[in-house]
Amino acid sequence: MIKFFRHIRQRLVTDPPERAVSVRAGSKFSKYLLYAIGEIILVVIGILIALQINDWNENRKNQIRESKILNNLREDLERTKLNLETTIAEYPEYINRIEAKINYIGMESDSLTTEMKQNISDTGVPIVNIVDGSINALLGSEKLELISNDSLKLMLTEYPTFVSRHKEVEEKLQNVLLDIHRPVLERYFSLTDRIENEKDKFPNLKKRAIPSDFNNLMKDRAYQNVLVNERYHLIYTEASAKELLSKTIKILDKTKM
């Protein structure tokens, strides 16, 4: 097409004067008009091609940016997934220990073995380390629009809600442990029991220290109640962690598509 218009232009420019005079004015004007239209079309085509190339380059840059964003997301989500799986694997042990303590209720101190007393004195709850820096940074910027998968984009915007919900559940469990369980336990359990074997440093500690009172601890209603309460929160927190793990895996799968 470009060659065609150039050929017309060349004929108009190189026609000899005597021939040009013989050409009818209307015919010559038509050729000039056709040439002008052709030039306009060529310019328009050039602009469209330039725009197309620019769009292609911009899309390619956006794809590179999106790839980097997805890589960062995958790194954080993989770490969170591993942390969740590790913590979830610990929940049965914590629940079993609480249930064992419940079964000690009402027992006399002489009936409690050293292992049982150690279990009573040990307290703690599993906490998940959630790595969500990349997601929070993404949601707090305009880069979210670079995510081409609308389904993934929606899941990413919903994810912080599930994270926040799980953290609230964990916090309630921690509050039961720190605000109720340990204060009740420490009214009867003497921490000196943990260091009484260090006779070189504390030679007379066992004789002078106030010993632990497991008899009254096993009969304390507040202690009994907190064990049952903590067991409930452990089971509920475990279920919450499993739900968050499921959401994390689904998002991970989407980032790999």
What pLDDT was estimated at residue 213? 95
| φ and ψ at residue 150, rounded to 5 degrees | -65, -35
DSSP 112-126: S-HHHHHHHH-----
In whole angstroms, what is the distance from residue 156 CA to residue 138 CA? 9
223 Cβ contact partners less than 8 Å away, ≥ 6 residues apart: 184, 185, 188, 217
Is pLDDT at 141 greater than 90 in this prediction?
no
Stronger pLDDT, 47 or 221, i.e. the higher one: 221
Tokens representing residue 247 in the block: 């959401």
In whole angstroms, what is the distance from residue 242 CA to residue 1 CA? 65
Residue that the structure tokens 């380390």 belong to: 129
Tokens representing residue 72 in the block: 């960062």
Instruction: Report residue 143's pLDDT band, with 50, 70 and 90 as the boundaries.
Output: confident
Helix (H, G, I), strand (E, B) or coil at 205: helix
Asked if residue 240 lies in contact with residue 169, where contact means CB atoms within 8 angstroms, the answer is yes
Helix (H, G, I), strand (E, B) or coil at 203: coil
Average pLDDT, the chain: 87
Distance of CA 195 to the CA centre of its chain: 42
Asked if residue 138 lies in contact with residue 73, where contact means CB atoms within 8 angstroms, the answer is yes
Distance of CA 146 to the CA centre of its chain: 18
pLDDT tens, position by position, 70-126 = 999 999 999 999 999 999 999 999 999 999 999 999 999 999 999 999 999 999 999
Count CB-CB contacts under 10 A for residue 188: 18
Stronger pLDDT, 177 or 207, i.e. the higher one: 177
What pLDDT was estimated at residue 10? 54
Q: What percent of the chain has pLDDT over 90?
A: 61
Closest CA to 182 of 217, 143, 137, 219: 217
Closest CA to 185 of 253, 117, 110: 117
User: What is the pTM for the complete model shown?
Assistant: 0.77
Q: What percent of the chain has pLDDT over 70?
A: 87
Is pLDDT at 257 greater than 90 in this prediction?
no
Mean pLDDT of 197-220: 89
In whole angstroms, what is the distance from residue 205 CA to residue 210 CA? 9
In whole angstroms, what is the distance from residue 224 CA to residue 217 CA? 9
In whole angstroms, what is the distance from residue 48 CA to residue 45 CA? 5
What pLDDT was estimated at residue 20? 46
Count CB-CB contacts under 10 A for residue 30: 11
Mean pLDDT of 144-159: 92
